[in-house]
Chain A
Amino acid sequence: MTTKPIAMHPTDMQSLSERSIESTEMKSPAASSVVCATNLGLTFETTDGPVTALSDVNLTVEKGDFVSFIGPSGCGKTTFLRVIADLEKPTSGTITVNGMTPEQARHKRAYGYVFQAAALYPWRTIEKNIALPLEIMGYSAAEQKERVARTLDLVSLTGFGKKYPWQLSGGMQQRASIARALAFDADLLLMDEPFGALDEIVRDHLNEALLKLWAQTNKTICFVTHSIPEAVYLSTKIVVMSPRPGRVTDVIESTLPRERPLDIRETPEFLEIAHRVREGLRAGHSYDV
């Protein structure tokens, strides 16, 4: 962070307040954390009246965290990721991404986003789809080729690079979209139910691969899921959310080691965390009733 000397102009109230926010941020942990949301709220103005998707969300994500968001459908998980990604603007509270506003972070290409649907461009082959962000960010042709090959391998799609999206199964398309988000060097990975459409076996495989990738690259990952075992297996931190008006009801710090073989899912420690998540989800529901 660059520390600018703060010149006070008492007459200029607006700049004064802006600067004081900036200066408090620098002292607070917000500056060092990857995502820091304080009293964050978002209300959509729809024709049927306002819809509150997020209210009073306080959360910090530290560098290297693997954070899972879990909660019933419509509780604002996607909306929260979209706020981080500067795809939605919060209507109250503040949020910083790498100590910047989400917009500044987006300009710096700070994150890769995996959408709930694969969103591949149908007129591009799989490798061309993966190369899309690389083209936009101006990587050289040689580097593009190398990165495409590497990420294809990472999601076990080697040999499918020349195929068009419609020639692949839904799960393979979703893996291609993950490869696309991994192809460039973003330290933050935002994943919105990336494995929701996949079968158990592929899911296990990709969960393992994702953990390996996370360990290797030291990326920070925000991951939305509906599956309690998946959340517990992957995360260092589990954020349990409750529906309408989109609150965080519990934040569970995982006590599991970072090194996690698949069969860790049968250990008592794992089951205990899973139990706590389930309790949290239940509590969230009773809030709704």
Chain B
Amino acid sequence: MERESFLRDRLIPIGTVIVAIVAIWYVAVIFLNAPFERDTAARNGETITFAEIVPKTMAQERPVLPAPHQVAAELWDTTVNKAVTSKRSLVYHAWVTLSATLLGFAMGTVLGILLAIGIVHNRAMDRSLMPWVIASQTIPILAIAPMIIVVLNAIGLSGLLPKALISTYLSFFPVVVGMVKGLRSPEQIQLDLMHTYNASSAQTFWKLRWPSSMPYLFTSLKVAVAISLVGAIVGELPTGAVAGLGARLLAGSYYGQTVQIWAALFMAAGVAALLVVIVGLAHSAVLRRMGARA
């Protein structure tokens, strides 16, 4: 029963969508890569039939759009067939980006929570800080990232930390917004109860506001962890970093290595999905410990 419904409710719909996407992708590969084959044939003074073009469009070295199996092969080759310490291993590059992501995510979470606590407990902070928090996100990250990297390089900071700071810059925002809402979510009657016990604000915080905010925190964290990864990748672009998924994307686009770009993109998507899943699991584990309905 359980397995059957899992098959019917999850596997079949998701599988159908994947098959559809792959099919559309192959069609697009043929149409986008065909002009190159026609040009080559024309230059050599040959005529080429559609049936001859199709297999060629899927085996180009630098296709406009690589075929799914080319990307899959590249992914396989650069993850399984290379030592993880090798500069040509995608796992190595993913780890470089991931470490910056995790550091930035951790800093962003802590910063976001601290700001939210300040905003909730202090009227002046609520008025003065919130507009700045919102304004910070209206500046395009692509504009500010190079400046952060360059300025930090100038004072001798390079490598992990500048990238992590860009992740922090992006990820603290959803945490602040979510936590302010979460810390304010207790009902009046629940707060009144604390008042009748003459509870200190620290006690009210730890025994009421903090537990009440957990669902809001984890919802924010799911967004924050995904954009932390974006931040880390963006942070690798402006300096022409030598390692990381961003560096792979950049190098790929310099040399027209579209297969490499797509492999890096898929790796990034995979890492993001993994991170979101981990946060999701932590979310349900915490809610279960807090006695939520099964």
Contact = CB atoms under 8 A, between A and B. Distances in A.
A122 B291 CA distance: 7
Interface string A133-172: 1011100000000000000000000000000101000000
Contacts of A137: 197
Interface residues of B, number: 20
Contacts of B198: 106-109, 136
Interface stretch (A42-50, A69-77, A91-99, A113-121): A113-121
Contacts of B207: 121, 132, 135-136
Interface in B132-173: none
Given A135-B207, A136-B207, A164-B291, A121 B195 contact: no
Interface stretch (B17-25, B63-71, B185-193): B185-193
Contacts of A124: 291
Given A135-B207, A136-B203, A123 B291 contact: yes
B196 interface: yes
A87 B291 contact: no
A113 B196 contact: yes
Contacts of B197: 109, 132-133, 136-137
A106 B195 CA distance: 8
B211 interface: yes
Contacts of B211: 121, 123
Contacts of A111: 196
Nearest to B287: A123
A107 B198 CA distance: 6
Interface string B178-209: 00000000010110111111110001000110
A263 B206 CA distance: 48
Interface in B202-257: 203, 207-208, 211, 214
A79 to B, nearest CB: 13
Nearest to A165: B291
B290 interface: yes
A137 B196 CA distance: 11
A125 interface: yes
Among B189, B195, B196, B207, the one with the most A-chain Cβ atoms within 10 Å of its Cβ is B196
Nearest to A87: B192
Contact of B199 (A87, A113, A136): A136
A113 B290 contact: no
A277 interface: no
Given A106-B195, A137-B197, A117 B189 contact: yes
A232 interface: no
For this complex, into which size category does the number of interface residues on chain A fall? 20 to 34
B10 interface: no
Contacts of A119: 187, 189-190, 192-193
A100 interface: no
A113 B207 CA distance: 18
A53 interface: no
Contacts of B292: 123
Given A115-B189, A132-B207, A135-B207, A123 B290 contact: yes
B127 interface: no
Contacts of A273: none
Contacts of A135: 207
A16 B276 CA distance: 66
Contact of B196 (A85, A121, A122, A125): A85
Nearest to A111: B196
Contacts of B290: 122-123
Nearest to A123: B290
Nearest to B291: A164
A48 B77 CA distance: 72
A137 B190 CA distance: 17
Nearest to A133: B197
Nearest to B192: A87
Contact of B291 (A106, A107, A115, A125): A125
6 contacts: A87-B195, A111-B196, A121-B190, A122-B290, A136-B199, A166-B293
Given A121-B211, A135-B207, A164-B291, 7 more contacts: A119-B189, A122-B291, A123-B211, A124-B291, A136-B194, A166-B291, A166-B293
Interface of B: 187, 189-190, 192-199, 203, 207-208, 211, 214, 290-293
What are the nearest 3 A-B pairs in CB distance? Answer: A123-B290, A164-B291, A119-B189
